[in-house]
């Protein structure tokens, strides 16, 4: 019987304390990965790390704010110190928003979103890249369908995810022939608490999701799709039939996609 793809694979995973990141940690732990888990909230992060260890995996937890370049460097250094190498980097950490652009009272909110979602991925990738190249490993960026098309109330979030897509597309070309794969993932709405933690125009967390979470994709299914894409070193994955149709429609009827996006948000 063949070993799982990520058995003893050293994986750095950001945003690992909740949502998609937590479920990715669990699924990779079941494969026997050597995990380096990062997130801002140390207590919740350690709970996830302990659950992974109970599943038989090796797991260290490194409290990290990916918006801080130095902390990203320390995350990579701590991982190499513990395991001696890095095989896979999953850039999953992110924050979102739910406010019309004209209702934003402080533009630093958008700067913070860009710092976490885009620069956090850039920082971690920069410091991990020499190790990943050495092992012909994997780089993964978890974006959003808003990285393919803009969505009302998400201007800053969409901008950060578009930036991620452009960065990793460029990096993929630069790394052609190196043996390193770059996988971009574009989930739709997933049943996590990220919308409850989304910020409004004043910078306050919503605390209650504005969408019916019971109708969202289960987080287990989303993580499973991501792991499969990682295993097969896919170029990109657009989740949901609606998302795939939207990407295709944008090429031939972009105005229609704008209307669909507006109506989807208005109707929840």
SS (H, E, C) 109-132: HHHHHHHHHHHHHHHHHHHHHHHH
- Quick one: fold of 10-240? Rossmann fold (3.40.50)
Per-residue pLDDT of 108-126, as tens digits, reads: 999 999 999 999 999 999 9
Tokens for 31, please give them. 């494969």
How far is 118 from 143, CA to CA, in rounded Å? 10
Asked if 24 contacts 16 with a C-beta cutoff of 8 angstroms, the reply is yes
pTM greater than the 0.75 cutoff: yes
**CB 98, CB 189: distance < 8 Å:** no
Domain coordinates in residue numbering, the chain: 10-240
Pick left, alpha or beta for residue 38 (phi over 0 → left; psi -120 to 50 → alpha; otherwise beta).
beta
Exposure b/e, 139-154, CB count within 10 A at least 16 = b = bbbbbbbbbbbbbbbb
Mean of all residue pLDDT scores within the chain:
90
Report pLDDT digits (tens) over 5-39. 999 999 999 999 999 999 999 999 999 999 999 99
Active site residues: 157
- The Cα–Cα gap between 36 and 31 comes to 15
């Amino acid at each position: 019987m063949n070993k799982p793809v990520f058995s003893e694979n050293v994986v750095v995973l950001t945003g690992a304390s909740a949502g998609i990141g937590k479920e990715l940690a669990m699924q990779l732990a079941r494969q026997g990965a050597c995990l380096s888990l990062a997130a801002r909230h140390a207590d919740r992060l350690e709970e996830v790390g302990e659950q992974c260890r109970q599943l038989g995996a090796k797991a260290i937890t490194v409290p990290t704010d990916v918006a801080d370049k130095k902390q990203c460097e320390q995350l990579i250094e701590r991982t190499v110190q513990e395991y001696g190498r890095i095989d896979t980097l999953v850039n999953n950490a992110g924050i979102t928003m739910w406010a019309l652009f004209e209702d934003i009272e402080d533009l630093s909110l958008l700067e913070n979103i860009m710092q976490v979602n885009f620069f956090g991925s850039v920082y971690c990738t920069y410091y991990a890249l020499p190790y990943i190249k050495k092992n012909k490993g994997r780089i993964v960026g978890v974006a959003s369908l808003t990285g393919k098309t803009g969505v009302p109330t998400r201007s800053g979030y969409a901008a950060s995810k578009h930036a991620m897509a452009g960065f990793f597309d460029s990096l993929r070309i630069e790394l052609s022939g190196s043996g390193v794969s770059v996988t971009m993932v574009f989930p739709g709405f997933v049943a996590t608490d990220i919308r409850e933690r989304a910020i409004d125009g004043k910078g306050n967390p919503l605390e209650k999701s504005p969408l019916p979470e019971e109708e969202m994709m289960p987080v287990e299914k989303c993580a499973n799709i991501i792991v499969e894409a990682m295993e097969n070193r896919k170029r990109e994955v657009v989740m949901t039939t609606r998302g795939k149709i939207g990407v295709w429609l944008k090429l031939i009827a972009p105005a229609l996609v704008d209307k669909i996006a507006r109506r989807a948000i208005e109707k929840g």
